[in-house]
Amino acid sequence: MTDPVADLARRRNDLPAPVDTSVPLPRRILTSWWTWAVVALTVLFVVALFAQYRMLTADTPVTGGVVQGINPSAIRSAFWMALPTLAFWTVVFVWADRYRPQRLLVWYLALGWGMAIATFLSLNVNTWAAQQLAVAGNGDPATSARAAIFVAPFVEEAAKASVLFLIAIVARYRLTSQVSMVVLAGLSAAGFAFTENIIYYARAIVYASQTISVGDADAAVSQLVWLRGFWTCFGHPMFTMMTGIGVAIALRTRSKVVRVLAPIAGYGAAALLHMVFNSQASLNSEDGQRLLYLLVALPLLLTLVLYVVRQVLAQGRVLAARLGDYAQLGWLPESDPVVFARQRSRWWAVLVAATRGWKVFVATVRLQRILTELAYLRDGQVRGIYDEAATVRARALVEQAKALRGIAIDDPRGLKLSLPRLRRQRPLAYVPPSYPGPSGIGGNWPAPVGQPPIGSPGYSAVDPTWGPPKG
């Protein structure tokens, strides 16, 4: 039975419950709320995407005519056009979250939320808001400039960032640094941009194929793909990362005022940047857009990239300092703050472990994750986020790390890869014909060089070269 007081303290600090290893793994998976949350949200993702597909492929009656829906062939072509941008941003954000990577399920939920739920909410709310504004556009109320400037930024940023608040509520303990929130915000925005690009590309394909004045339809669609998929592909991730930074600051501080104002400030900055971007894309001339792109957008992107890089490097300093605290107490070896704070030594340990068997590889990865969690747990105590309940969790993590050290690679310095060696077979030497050995010994011995067979003329039993082969 567990201690009710200790369990209450753990829940108040939002610390995870200890895992009962006596329960079989399949049963733990089936009884985990993460499993059923993923199943439920996956069903929700599929329903939201199917609803958008039905909405986009159906004809929409408007004043003065009907807006023809997008055909499935155009959507399939647009999917492959938008996929490289999604793959690029996914690799970038997952690589950035390398010190303490989130669970694969958390990445999946953030990406799927932006791809399905955020786009579904934005598509419906933007269309409804544009209709309420009674904007006179080109026949499609969702494409009016006024709705794109004053409605879409607030709606889309709220839809993309809602998954950040959801994860912060149910799994605040997992969000240890600003990099974690930036990565989740970027994945949500990348998924949102992927679905939005499919819609834009498919509409361009249908319009270019039906309008003669467009000229070369392939060139027109290719120009749009380069514009949205390459030159301005950083727009949505950059906007939503502002909200992610605000939420991360709120989670890693003790001040209640900052916890309230930081997410609001981040969301306001994201919506403001989005509004400026849409206004310039809708109202400014091509020369003005190019000037703002070079003087405003790219410097802002470079500043944000440098900020994220500094935060990634700061994670190494946090690991060195906090693991050093435990090393001074004697809980950890003195080599841990040096080894586990350097990304190169961590990668080398995983690479060496991969060449020594699956069991060693799994133990090494688990050891790195446990010690990283231990360091951020100590960092939370220093910041005043956790109270004495974190000490119980820290002791459990130290015991888990101690149990893994006999299998895992905890200090890879001086170790080499254990690769299989390819042995070169030497050619067999010439073996002379054998002859019967002397009685009582048995077997056949190779005939010595220059020694005639037994019983033949010239045979000498005292010849020093005669006898069994040496070695």
Model confidence pLDDT, tens digit, residues 199-231: 999 999 988 887 777 777 788 889 999 999 999
Both tokens assigned to 368: 């790195």
Q: How many CB atoms lie within 10 A of CB 86?
A: 22
37 has which bridge partners?
none
Q: Are the CB atoms for 118 and 159 separated by under 8 Å?
A: yes
CB hemisphere CA count around 117 (13 angstroms)? 22
Q: What is the sign of the dihedral through the CA atoms of 187, 191, 196 and 200? A: positive
Hey, how many other C-beta atoms are within 10 angstroms of the C-beta on 208?
20
pTM, two decimal places: 0.80
For residue 445, the SS3 value is strand
- How far from 202 is each of 56, 80, 199, 234, 426, CA to CA, in Å? 10, 11, 5, 21, 65
- What residues form DSSP beta bridges with 61? 66
Spatial neighbors of 141 by CB under 8 A, at least 6 apart, are 62, 127, 130, 131, 135, 147
Burial profile 439-452: b = 16 or more Cβ within 10 angstroms, e = fewer = eeeeeebebbeebe
Number of H helices, E strands in the chain: 18, 4
H or E stretch covering 325: helix 298-329
From first to last of its 471 residues, the chain has per-residue pLDDT tens of: 457 777 777 777 677 777 766 778 788 888 887 888 889 999 999 999 999 999 888 877 766 667 778 888 999 999 999 999 999 999 999 888 877 777 788 899 999 999 999 999 999 998 888 777 754 444 444 445 777 788 889 999 999 999 999 988 887 777 777 888 899 999 999 999 999 999 999 999 988 887 777 777 788 889 999 999 999 999 999 999 999 999 989 888 888 898 899 999 999 999 999 998 888 877 777 777 888 888 888 999 999 999 988 988 888 898 999 999 999 988 999 999 999 988 889 999 999 999 988 999 999 999 998 999 899 889 888 888 887 788 888 888 899 999 999 899 988 888 888 776 655 555 555 455 544 544 444 444 454 555 555 555 555 544 444 444 444
